[in-house]
Amino acid sequence: MDYRAIAQSLVELHAALRLGPVARQLSELDCGTFLALQLLSSGDAHPCELSRKMGVSTARVAALVNHLERGGLAVRRPDPDDSRAVTVSLTPAGKARICEKREAAVSALAGALQALGPREAQAYLRIQRKILSHMTQHGQSASGLCAEKEAMQICE
């Protein structure tokens, strides 16, 4: 079996999916904004923690947090345990935005999964989890993907 050819097909498929309805639901938020909102939806975070989880520089996180603050989605606050540090947290508008965008994406994806039927939809989910597990066990980047589960909790 030619796993490289399969991987190439998956990369091309993934790129095409980014142009589909789920991606359009999220297009208002760039990837960094969406990921930061997901991470912050599980609670306050230090900018260095966001940098580590997102796999980007602290300068990029600073610019991203500035963008979130200007949009009224997040706020910096002094760290109660360290007067030299700040934490970043979502505003009510930020919580509403991540919930709104995730719900729109979930609705669009649910329609596609329904077309697969229950058996294939479950198989697809199982395979995606297995691939993610393999990638994280072998040190490949899955930055922020662990935040997906936590982000769902804030919307419930």
Please give the average per-residue pLDDT across 37-47, as a whole number: 93
Residue 20 confidence class, pLDDT cut points 50, 70, 90 = confident
35 burial type by CB count under 10 A (0-12 exposed, 13-18 middle, 19+ buried): buried
Note the pLDDT of residue 145: 43
The string of pLDDT tens digits covering residues 88-144 is: 999 999 999 999 888 888 888 888 889 999 999 999 889 988 888 888 787 655 444
**Residue-wise DSSP of 99-154:** HHHHHHHHHHHHHHHHHH-HHHHHHHHHHHHHHHHHHHHTT---TTTTHHHHHHHH
CATH of the domain spanning 3-154, picked from 1.10.10.10, 1.25.40.20, 3.40.50.720, 1.25.40.10 = 1.10.10.10
Domain ranges of the chain: 3-154
Residue 12 confidence class, pLDDT cut points 50, 70, 90 = confident
Helix, strand, coil % over all residues of the chain, rounded to 5: 65, 10, 20
Q: How far apart are CA 26 and CA 123, in angstroms?
A: 25
Residue 32 confidence class, pLDDT cut points 50, 70, 90 = confident
Note the pLDDT of residue 45: 95
Element (H, E) at 57: none
SS3 state at 42:
coil
Note the pLDDT of residue 66: 96
Note the pLDDT of residue 26: 60
Residue 40 contacts residue 94 (beta carbons within 8 Å): yes
Residue 44 confidence class, pLDDT cut points 50, 70, 90 = very high
The string of pLDDT tens digits covering residues 64-92 is: 999 999 999 999 999 999 989 999 999 99
Note the pLDDT of residue 10: 81
Q: How far apart are CA 14 and CA 117, in angstroms?
A: 21
The amino acid that residue 146 corresponds to is C
Q: What is the pTM of this model?
A: 0.69
